[in-house]
Amino acid sequence: MGRMGLMGRMGLMGRPWAAYIAGPAPVAILAFGVYWRTLARHGDLGNGPELAVAASQFGVPHPTGFPLYTLAAGIFVRMAPLGTVIFKTALFSALLTALAAALVYVAAFALLRRRWAAMLTSLLFAYSATVWSAATVTEVHGLHLALSAGMLAALMHGLRSHDQRIRDRCLKWAAIGFGLSLANHLMALTWLPLMALGVDRLRDRNRGWKGVGIPVLLAVAPLTLYAYLPIAAFRDPPLNWGDARSMANFVHHVTDGTDVTNATWRDRLVGLVNYGGWPEEHVREGYLLSQFGAAIIWLAPIGLWFLARRRRAAHGMLVVAYAVPVAWTIGAGIVEPASHFATSHMIVALWIGAGARHLGHLAALAARRAIGERKGRRRIRALVEIGALALPAMVLAGNFRVNDLSANNVMEPLGRALIEKPARNAILIATGRTWAFPALYAQQVERRRPDVVLLLEPFFREPNFRLIRRESRRGIVVSEPECHHMPGKVADEAHGWCRIHQLIWQNYARRPVYVAGPSAEMLVSEEAIRSRLPAFRRLAASLPVVEFVPARQEPLPPIPTPPVLVVVPRAHTEAGEHQPAHGHTHDHHHEH
């Protein structure tokens, strides 16, 4: 009576709660063990170095600012006892993604009610290519996945409960997860329809819509974290992207869809093929099939059919959770879409787990008919379940090579080489995130060459140009060129090049001026641009860095008009850089 009475009073009778405690822990350990083995301990050539700088100084990273990640990573960097900043932020990603895998286990168990199926689902998710890649580098996606998985787990558990008190609690936790994910990454808006369906399914029907005020408030309250951006901007740290000290700059920074293009219908068709097509190197990415492999993905339609018959409410919510992010990413023409599909891969993993669970059920029924002995039926069932758990091992083996970044030791030496090359008190204009962010990390985190004035190419565009002007206190000349362009983003990028052109002419005779990255390569290859800038020399064949040779004549010659420019669409360039070329006319007027 003691145990029965206690469980009855707690409302736990008939509910395998131990699985919610014992199941996620092994999943998190197995996932984190693999992430630790493949961790990029010395950084990677992406946004990681910039995000590490933002965390180290509580600065403002690139749009949309990611306030929750910056604050959380900054606290983690200061609390973790050992390692470099870039190692700590990569470790932070690994821990968060392992937590996401554990929360997927909770969601899968609530949905499928089989521990082995939940284990299969969560490990497939953990070892899928995109999720794994988010766990080994410094990025915001690990936190996004953890919050999204927590939201999904709360909704699935709430659907399974008939106790309205539990459903209300689950709805509140889901709202908190949704709000925090919005404060981290605006991609969370693609799960707004899922959250709306969750409110409709879990609300108390007897009270109508009166009880949804608190969940809505819990979802909106975390958005106040975006106040961090103007607060940090007023401190004016070295990394102050967007200069969100005014309302206009703040709105521009938070809503700036830097990965969004003006996609045509042909672009969207190509995006759809890239998502669902067969992966083929240099032809199509095959974002879906490359996650789990064709040998496993066929279980997803079976699971979809199973949930449509047995879990209708959950089925509708999962379809919406899958379809909206995929449709938005393809429809908006996202330049680097892989990470935007990650929450949809979470749903596909649930479908695969549901398909395996249904086939396991059918195998158990067949064994019951064929084998009369109960012990024999249990052995057959155990073999089926153990065999299903071999599927994550297949995914792990298939994705290991591409996600093993443990030997990646390029970022730190590259940043040091770039920042150490210039002469004393030089100006270094860094373009392209592959080159600019490692140099930024070397100077701001490793404290190398504080005498060098490091200027990032995106800061020459609005609304960042004040960040270039503030360097005039260090003795460089900064002025606004008289370039006239038609309004628009392309013109803004072209005008940024005009500002670079002006700054080079006004400073190269006073102190050494260098350009590094893709723009340095462009200067070497484009005669029309090279002829309108001072003479320069390349410092090393292995590095795209050029130095402008000081003029011997006085006074300096008039600043030439920049060449006719065109900005190549961002879909064809590295994110965070532009490549002027011939073919697009601007009316430029410069005065020395």
Q: Residue 516 domain-assigned?
A: yes
Q: Are strands 566-567 and 543-548 parallel, antiparallel or unpaired?
A: unpaired
Query: Which letter does DSSP use for residue 517 in this model?
Result: S
Q: Residue 382 domain-assigned?
A: yes
Query: What residues contact residue 206 under an 8 Å CB cut-off, 6+ apart?
Result: none
Q: What is the 3-state secondary structure (H, E, C) of 94-114?
A: HHHHHHHHHHHHHHHHHHHCC
Q: Of how many residues is the chain composed?
A: 592
Cβ burial, residue 67 (10 Å; 0-12/13-18/19+): buried
Query: Which letter does DSSP use for residue 278 in this model?
Result: P
pLDDT at site 559: 62
pLDDT at site 558: 59
Continuous segment of H or E residues that includes residue 456: strand 453-456
What are residue 46's phi and psi, to 5 degrees?
A: -135, -140
Q: Residue 1 domain-assigned?
A: no
- Asked whether the bond before 463 is cis by omega within 30 degrees of 0, the reply is yes
* 192 and 295 inside one domain: yes
The answer to whether residues 496 and 550 touch, using CB atoms and an 8 Å cutoff, is: no
Burial 349-361 (b: 16+ CB within 10 A, else e): bbbbbbbbbbbbe
Q: Residue 2 domain-assigned?
A: no
pLDDT at site 322: 96
* 149 and 239 inside one domain: yes
* 96 and 41 inside one domain: yes
* 440 and 374 inside one domain: no
Cα separation, 387 vs 360, in Å, equals 10
Burial 94-110 (b: 16+ CB within 10 A, else e): bbbbbbbbbbbbbbbbb
* 397 and 417 inside one domain: no
* 139 and 194 inside one domain: yes
pLDDT at site 205: 75
Query: What residues contact residue 412 under an 8 Å CB cut-off, 6+ apart?
Result: 42, 43, 86, 438, 441, 442, 446
Q: Residue 286 domain-assigned?
A: yes
pLDDT at site 491: 54
How remote is the C-alpha of 438 from its chain's centroid? 18
Cα separation, 90 vs 87, in Å, equals 5
* 523 and 451 inside one domain: yes
pLDDT at site 523: 84
Domain boundary among 376, 403, 430: 403
* 434 and 398 inside one domain: no
Give the pair of three-digit tokens for residue 576: 């965070």
pLDDT at site 142: 95
pLDDT at site 9: 35
Distance (Å) of CA 219 to CA 178, 226, 228, 482, 525: 6, 14, 18, 47, 52
Q: Residue 365 domain-assigned?
A: yes
* 58 and 111 inside one domain: yes
Domains contained in the chain, number? 2
pLDDT at site 197: 93
Domain boundary among 370, 403, 436: 403
The answer to whether residues 458 and 466 touch, using CB atoms and an 8 Å cutoff, is: no
| 3-state class (DSSP) for residue 181 | helix
| Strand-pair partners of 107 | none
pLDDT at site 285: 85
Distance (Å) of CA 468 to CA 350, 454, 462: 49, 10, 11
pLDDT at site 250: 94
* 189 and 264 inside one domain: yes
State pLDDT tens for residues 173-215. Answer: 999 999 999 999 889 999 999 999 999 898 887 777 777 888 9
Cβ burial, residue 537 (10 Å; 0-12/13-18/19+): exposed
Query: For the chain, which ranges sit under pLDDT 70?
Result: 1-22, 257-261, 282, 372-378, 381, 483-493, 551-592
Q: Residue 4 domain-assigned?
A: no
Q: Residue 11 domain-assigned?
A: no
pLDDT at site 163: 87
Q: Are strands 427-430 and 513-516 parallel, antiparallel or unpaired?
A: parallel
Cβ burial, residue 438 (10 Å; 0-12/13-18/19+): buried
Domain boundary among 367, 387, 403: 403
Cβ burial, residue 131 (10 Å; 0-12/13-18/19+): buried
Structural domain for 335, as ranges: 16-403
State pLDDT tens for residues 159-169. Answer: 988 888 999 99
* 332 and 360 inside one domain: yes
Give the pair of three-digit tokens for residue 5: 């009475």
Cα separation, 577 vs 223, in Å, equals 30
* 118 and 213 inside one domain: yes
